[in-house]
Chains A and B, each alone.
Chain A
Amino acid sequence: MSTGYLTDTKGRRRPVASAPARRRAGASPLRQMDWILTAAVLALGGLGGLLVWSATQSNTSLVGENSTAYLERHLLNLGLGLVLGVAASLFNYRLLRAYAPVLYIASVLGLVAVLSPLGSVISGARSWIVLPGGFSIQPSEFAKVALVVGMAMILAEKRDAESTPGGSLVAQALALAAVPLALIMLQPDLGTALVVVFLVLGIVAVSGASARWIVGLLVLGVAVSTFALTSGVLEDYQRDRLTSFIDPNSDPQGSSYNVRQVFIAIGSGGLTGKGLLAGPQTQGSFVPAQHTDFVFSVAGEELGLIGAGGILLLFTLVFWRAYRIAVGAEDLFGRLVAVGVLCWFVFQAFENIGMCLGLMPVTGIPLPFVSYGGSSMFANLIAVGLLQNVHMKRYA
């Protein structure tokens, strides 16, 4: 790609499309896409397919006769998600801002529906709407997309690039975030709620809002966590899940059983792993939810440090590209969208891998791109599409 660089006042280089490049971009905006980001995401999704396959192929109660059933559906999700992502990347920027309120209201309605009798309880949380035909959707995944766009829109509204959002705008943005956050907490889906909190914090911080807001939000977060763990608001099993990571041997058959089994799987993988489809822990289904929330344990056991570390590297690539896109965004809206997606991916990946490694409490959230699950895959790829959209806007 014939892209040149300009050095800005801070001495940082900024890519600037050359005239021929602009011309070609006009012909096909996809050629301006951040291919490193796309490649990393596709690699994660493909790797995820292999891991999901390995995690399910020997479990006949899941896959029945067709041992590749989950692999196929994962790839289908990936394909559909790519279509959604491409659509999101090509969506007109201004139209996106115009549709933000619609997106937001739709997602809030989804979250309300989930709490109504339409919702189904899976693993202790009322997070799902089961549709006929074996499909189910998880509205909280899409709510993250809506929240990123919605907050970016408010905080970037009617401002030139160099001003910072005032108190009322920040308050509006936080109010906007509070509604879905509360609904997610009611499910209760703590993992997603935490991701939302960090996503909100990241957007508010990068918007340039006064430091008091950020400190205030952090204090509030600590206070709410303390309250949640010490008061009776959480069910016992939830509190156990949150604290069992501290001592995985505390209750070998209870909450810490999962953590212990995940440790054993990852630890026994060693440097090179047991080989795909050859991990005894995985093939014996010792780890619960190993094709969804604990998919990282499959990588750890069967692909070893090389595979698990590879996944971490791919995520680092994604983070790096998202960061570059945020830094190079044409306007504040684009930057805040990019930062929102970055914070979302970073925290969700950290929380998911961290709980597999015993660094974080166990909360039921999927590993972006890798875990099996349609809603999550779609929402993540839409978010990647938004990143590409922000990236390509520069060349529009």
Chain B
Amino acid sequence: MSDRSRRRLAVLNVLVLSLVVTLFGRLWYLQVLAADQFEQAATDNRTREVRTPAVRGIVLDDRGRPLVRNRTAMVVSISRTELLDLGEERARELVARVAEVIDEPFQDVWGRTRLCGTEGAPGTPVCWNGSPFQPIPVTEDADMDMALQIMEHREDFPGVAAELAPIREFPLPEGALATHLLGYVGPVTDADLARQAENATDGTGGRADTPGTLLQGTDAIGKSGLELHYDADLRGTPGVRTVAVDSRNRVEGTVAETSPVPGNYLITHLDAEVQAVAERELQTVIEGARAEGLPAHTGAVVVLDHQTGGVVAMASYPSYDPNVWVGGIDPADYAEITSEENRYPNQSRAFQGEFAPASTFKVVTTTAAVNVGYSLDATYPCTAAYQVGDQSFRNLESRPYGPITLKRALEVSCNTVFYKFGHEMWQRDGGNDPDEDAAEVLVSTARGYGFGTPTGVDLPGEADGLIADRAFKEARWERNKERWCTWAEEGYPDDQGGIDAYLTQLMVENCADGYKVRAGDAVNASIGQGETLVTPLQMAVAYGAIANGGTVWEPRVAKAVMSPAGEVVREIEAPVAGAVPASPETLAYLQDALRSVSTDGTAAGVFAGWPHEQIPVGAKTGSGQVSRDRETTSWFASFTDRYAVVMMVEEGGSGSGTSGPGVRAIYDAIYGVAEDGTVDPQAAILPGGLPPQELPTITPDGMVVAPDSREMAPASREVPPAADVTAGRGP
């Protein structure tokens, strides 16, 4: 055979060898060098996690009464895959059949099966925000008959399941709603997952997710209130069953399984009875004010344990029954609680509403005045009006009393005394031509009381209020001067399409020197008017600080986290946010003056017949002006040696007339004060005026046992010494 043939055979030989070597090399790479990567890919490929949700922890009040618990309900769900397979028309027929069985309008049920953000889907939280592969619950509150109808006619209900599952329930102990405090749970949203990715560990036991508790699309999590803030505690850890699947997702077996770990219990400072009384009294005073022709749109009340920083009760009006969230909220209910017409019942005025504090703010002005050198022992002129340039500031709440002490000025709420302080402090800062380093003592004192920043309460969405300082005014003027100056030139349009002369004049002033703190601003600020805005919760913290000797709390609704087995996982202590910038003498003076307000001052009527000897109570009224054509905001801030109670009614008239009686009724209930002024410990919600000292206990069989609060506990817990506590204590 030819040499050429032999040569070519040899070439072929080399070619074959190189091909074989290539294959070997590649095989080596895939199976040895890159094996780990493919091993992981193979695991991901062939296993799926099936999560068994953990039973969520319950929320208890101070005596162990459940505020939020779980109950077993019949959940009817529809498989979205099935709906897609059926096609639009037959899917609608199926949903219509289900809607008929569960006795709900078709449109509502259909809306719940729509993926959020898709065409024709209703808004959150009605639309389905969970995983598209998960059965969508259309009602979590079916009864047994409905379930039977579905189970017995399976052929009519393809992909529809009726199963027992634990769902949230608000038992409303003693009738207490506590809606805004408790919050609600809902399916995880993309935003929740994104937030988790950012992972905030806030150190308060909030949303610090540890591995294994990572959220997935099918989980239900807290969406607001305590349910949100303590979600990581309440949620528990879902059980995870890792199953092997084949290429068609058919389950072949279980690879690994962990049992769900139920969520922990949350013990709160809330007392269901006090909460119920607070809610009822708030409603009563608002209805009373309305009967007198006042608008009294909204209101709030806060009962704060100023010895611990615990929130004993906090209510807002208007409110609603939190059970609307159970089983997925109806579109109509959702519209109702979020409507402007209803004044947004979903928002809490207690910690999300901001209002001008009016005369209740005078304690701040007093403190600031003393701090800049005004004597507590001197007298100050309570004139009919205070003159600043050509402007006259009148003494709205009281008549002229002549020279009076600070105590008397607080008792009678004499504005002009405080006008003078405000004006003169403004002048000390340089007046219209302020010093670079103006002290702004009123501002810093207000901040020291906790105003102007959120209190840090363990509830999401808290408002911060507003203490307008020079920097704030400058920044705002920079932002708005263009608009203001346009209005100043062209006139401010009124409702009728004409020009509002008053507002136009205001715009002329704002345009010219809106960056300045003017003398008038300082005068207004001195009595908590003008720009000043506070939340009722901030007010309760501030009055609590006066009563407890200067400790400004970062209040806490929750008291402890407890395992379902009854072990205390951790106690939640309210952190100290700061100390009131006041000497012990000043605080003692204020306590004394405010007690006089309730015996001899503007709150004396409210506390008529009150056992002042047994239970000293300090108070301050306030009637905040909002605008020319609106009624004043009714404020009543008060404290005993244990509690600070603040009530506010928007456009509710005077502090003593509207809110005062409400606060009095709450004290009556807490201490068991009868109409004749006798104290009946049996009638007291909190005997001896003390909240339960111990946590509720949980027996091995899961029963919650109330702490025995009837037994007299130590008079008070030790308060971190912000200042010497000189206030008189209870009996």
A286 touches B23 (CB 8 A): no
Of B2, B37, B42, the contact of A208 (CB 8 Å cutoff): B2
Chain B neighbourhood of A268, CB < 8 A: 35, 38-39, 41-42
Interface string of B1-30 (1 = CB under 8 A from A): 110111011011100100110111011101
Verify B12–A205 contact, CB threshold 8 A: yes
- Set of chain A residues within 8 Å of B24, measured between Cβ atoms: 309, 312
CB contacts (< 8 Å) of B45 on chain A: these are 261, 264, 281, 286
The answer, among B9, B42, B248, for a CB contact under 8 Å with A206, is B9
Confirm or deny: B31 has a beta carbon within 8 angstroms of a beta carbon on chain A.
yes
Please give, as numbers and ranges, the residues of chain B lying within 8 Å of A93 by CB-CB distance.
none
Binds B, one of A130-138, A167-175, A335-343: A335-343
Chain A residues positioned under 8 Å from B37 (CB to CB): 267
Complex interface: chain A residues within 8 A of B191 (CB): none
Binary CB contact string for chain A from 273 to 295 against chain B (1 if under 8 A, 0 otherwise): 00000001101111000000000
**A-B contacts at CB below 8 angstroms, number:** 135
Please indicate the chain A residues that have their CB under 8 angstroms from the CB of B5 in the complex.
164, 206-208, 332, 335
A186 CA to B607 CA, complexed, in Å: 104
Chain A residues in 8 Å Cβ range of B372 = none
Contact A353 B23 (CB under 8 A): yes
For the complex formed, measure the closest distance between the CB of A313 and the CB atoms of chain B, giving whole angstroms. 9
Chain-A contact segment, one of B239-247, B328-336, B582-590 = B239-247
CB interface residues, A 346-368, toward B, < 8 Å? 346, 350, 353-354, 357-359
Set B8, B9, B23, B245: member contacting A350, Cβ < 8 A: B23
Residue from A207, A264, A267, A269 having most chain B Cβ neighbours under 10 A: A267
In the complex, chain B residues whose CB is within 8 Å of the CB of A261:
45, 247
Q: Is the CB of A309 within 8 A of B46?
A: no
Within 8 A of A (CB), among B346-389: none
- Give the residues in chain A near B194, CB-CB below 8 Å: none
Q: Report yes or no: B6 in contact with A284, Cβ–Cβ below 8 A.
A: no
Residue B34, interface by CB 8 Å: yes
Most A C-beta atoms less than 10 A away, residue of B23, B39, B244? B23
SS class of chain A's interface: helix, strand, loop or mixed?
helix
Q: Which of A222-245 contact B (CB under 8 A)?
A: none
Does A94 sit within 8 A of B, measured CB to CB?
no
Residues of chain A contacted by B19 (CB below 8 angstroms)? 346, 350
Interchain CA distance A63-B22 in the complex, whole Å: 36
Chain B residues positioned under 8 Å from A350 (CB to CB) = 19, 23
Let me know if A335 and B20 touch, CB within 8 A: no
Q: Which residue of B lies closest to A260 (CB)?
A: B41
CA–CA, A316 and B20, complex, Å: 7
Q: Does A119 contact B (CB under 8 A)?
A: no
Say whether B252 faces chain A, with CB atoms less than 8 Å apart: yes
A280 touches B46 (CB 8 A): yes
Task: Check A46 for interface membership: any CB of B closer than 8 A.
Answer: no
Least CB distance, A92 to chain B, in whole angstroms = 22
A358–B5 CA distance with the chains assembled, in angstroms: 33
Does B84 sit within 8 A of A, measured CB to CB? no
Per-residue 0/1 for A63-74: is the Cβ within 8 Å of any B Cβ (1 yes, 0 no)? 000000000000
The distance from the CB of B23 to the nearest CB of chain A, in whole angstroms, is 5
Q: Which of B23, B32, B38 contacts A312 (CB 8 A)?
A: B23
Residue in B1, B23, B30, B246 whose Cβ sees the most chain A Cβ within 10 Å: B1
CB distance from A309 to the nearest CB of B (A): 6
Q: Closest residue of chain A to B255, judged by CB?
A: A280
The residue of chain B having its C-beta at the shortest distance from the C-beta of A280 within the complex is B46
- C-alpha gap A268/B31 in the complex (Å): 7
Report the Cα distance A335→B1, complex, angstroms: 9
Complex Cα gap A133–B5 (Å): 47
Q: A268-B42, A286-B46 are in contact. Are A319 and B20 (CB under 8 A)?
A: yes
Residue pair A271, B32 in contact (C-beta under 8 Å): yes
Known: A264-B42, A267-B35, A332-B5. A342 touches B12 (CB 8 A): yes
Neighbouring B residues of A309 by C-beta, 8 Å: 24, 27
Q: Please, which residues of chain A bring their CB within 8 A of the CB of B252?
A: 283-284
- Give the Cβ gap from B690 to chain A, nearest Cβ, in Å: 64
Interface segment, A143-151, A300-308, A373-381?
Answer: A300-308
The answer to the question of A188 belonging to the interface, with a C-beta cut-off of 8 Å to chain B, is no
Report the nearest B residue to A201, measured CB to CB. Answer: B12
CB distance from B8 to the nearest CB of A (A): 5
Q: A326 contacts B30, CB within 8 Å?
A: no
In the docked arrangement, what's the CA distance between A202 and B6, Å?
A: 12
Q: Are B1 and A332 in contact (CB under 8 A)?
A: yes
A163: CB under 8 A from chain B?
Answer: yes
| B252 CB to nearest A CB, Å | 7
CB neighbours of B23 from chain A (8 A):
312, 350, 353-354, 357, 359
Is B28 touching A285 in the complex (CB atoms < 8 A)? no
Q: Is the CB of B38 within 8 A of A358?
A: no
A267 and B6 in contact, given A281-B45, A284-B246, A312-B27 (Cβ under 8 angstroms) = no
The answer on a CB contact under 8 Å between A305 and B16 is no
Which of A206, A283, A305, A346 has a CB less than 8 Å from the CB of B27?
Answer: A305
User: In angstroms, how far is the closest chain B Cβ from the Cβ of A338?
Assistant: 10
- CB atoms of A202 and B26 under 8 A apart: no
CB of B73, distance to nearest CB on chain A (Å)? 37
Q: Tell me if B30 and A263 are in contact (CB < 8 A).
A: yes
Contact bitstring B633-648, A, C-beta under 8 A = 1, else 0: 0000000000000000
**Inter-chain contacts of B4 with A (CB < 8 A):** 164, 208
Q: Which residues of B contact A358 (CB under 8 A)?
A: 26
Q: Which residues of A contact B46 (CB under 8 A)?
A: 280-281, 284, 286
Q: How far is the CA of A245 from the CA of B712 in the complex (A)?
A: 81
Provide a sorted-by-A list of 11 A–B residue pairs whose CB atoms are within 8 angstroms. A164-B4, A205-B11, A205-B12, A264-B42, A270-B39, A285-B246, A300-B31, A331-B1, A350-B23, A354-B22, A359-B22
14 further A-B contacts with Cβ under 8 Å, apart from A164-B2, A267-B38, A312-B27, are A10-B6, A202-B12, A265-B42, A266-B30, A268-B35, A268-B41, A285-B248, A286-B246, A300-B27, A312-B20, A342-B16, A343-B12, A354-B22, A359-B22
Residues of chain B at the chain A interface (Cβ within 8 Å): 1-2, 4-6, 8-9, 11-13, 16, 19-20, 22-24, 26-28, 30-32, 34-35, 37-39, 41-42, 45-46, 244-248, 252
